[in-house]
Amino acid sequence: DEMLAEAKAKAEAKVEPYYSSWMKIKTYASSALVTAPRANTGASATRYRLDACKDLINARYMALAYLYTEETKYLDGAVKYLMAYAEPMLGTDKYLDYSAATTDGQADIGLNIAAPLTAACDVYSLIYPHVGDETKTVIEAWIRAEADLTVKGHKYWIDKDYYGQQYGNNHLTSHLMGIIAAAYVLEDDELLTYAVNYKKNKADLCEMIT
């Protein structure tokens, strides 16, 4: 909150780089308002990641624009983008089944969930005080489901001997970032411990850094 307040005050005073950065954020946020989220929830986990990351980054621009301007159109836009993913995917892992022949690479599934999950949690952490209880329930249930699937993907890599003993790479660290972001949003100490420093997780964050 303090960082946002400082950034907003300096942008209003046209202090650089705060002012030009805010102008970029506002431009992206205004563009996102008139663009519908893709919400590609078909069989391709890779397609999901590529579309979802773009949408949820746009949602973050709108969340920041709301905090800068307090214009509810930006808040509504950010919520709309989150709900476009949360509602249709809640309670299903149709394209994330690790035994399904229809998926496009079992090794990639965890990363494909975790990357947009990290962005989604970022958006939600910015706007959750301003979101209604019913909407919170849906979004948090979806984040929980996505985090559980990411943990599943993380364990899958370990069980598969890291696909050729790739002990530290972008897949494993992406899993961890998604899980950590979800743990923050859900205030789940157990989930956070699993990702950061847990004896039974051979690829936790401390191990990745090592």
What is this structure's pTM?
A: 0.91
* Angle of helix 109-127 versus helix 133-159 axis, rounded to 10: 150
R_g of the chain computed on alpha carbons: 18
pLDDT tier for residue 178 given thresholds of 50, 70 and 90 = very high
Q: Which two tokens stand for residue 192?
A: 């956070």
> What's the whole-number average pLDDT of the chain?
90
Mean pLDDT lowest for which of 18-22, 38-42, 171-175, 184-188? 38-42
Question: What pLDDT sits at residue 47?
Answer: 83
Predicted confidence (pLDDT) at residue 17 exceeds the cutoff of 90: yes
The phi and psi torsions of 70 (rounded to 5 degrees) equal 60, 20
Question: What pLDDT sits at residue 110?
Answer: 86
Residues in the chain: 210
Question: What pLDDT sits at residue 31?
Answer: 97
182 neighbors 117 (Cβ within 8 angstroms): yes
Each residue's pLDDT tens digit, 71-119: 999 999 999 999 999 988 776 665 555 445 555 567 788 898 899 999 9
Predicted confidence (pLDDT) at residue 145 exceeds the cutoff of 70: yes
Residue 34: is it exposed, middle or buried by C-beta count within 10 angstroms (0-12/13-18/19+)? exposed
Predicted confidence (pLDDT) at residue 122 exceeds the cutoff of 80: yes
Which helix (H) or strand (E) segment holds residue 150: the answer is helix 133-159
9 neighbors 50 (Cβ within 8 angstroms): no
Amino acid at 67: L
Q: What is the DSSP letter of 108?
A: G
Question: What pLDDT sits at residue 19?
Answer: 98
Q: Which two tokens stand for residue 47?
A: 């397609």
Question: What pLDDT sits at residue 92?
Answer: 62
Mean pLDDT of 18-37: 96
Gap between the terminal Cα atoms of the chain = 32
Question: What pLDDT sits at residue 45?
Answer: 79
Question: What pLDDT sits at residue 191?
Answer: 98
CB atoms within 10 A of CB 35: 12
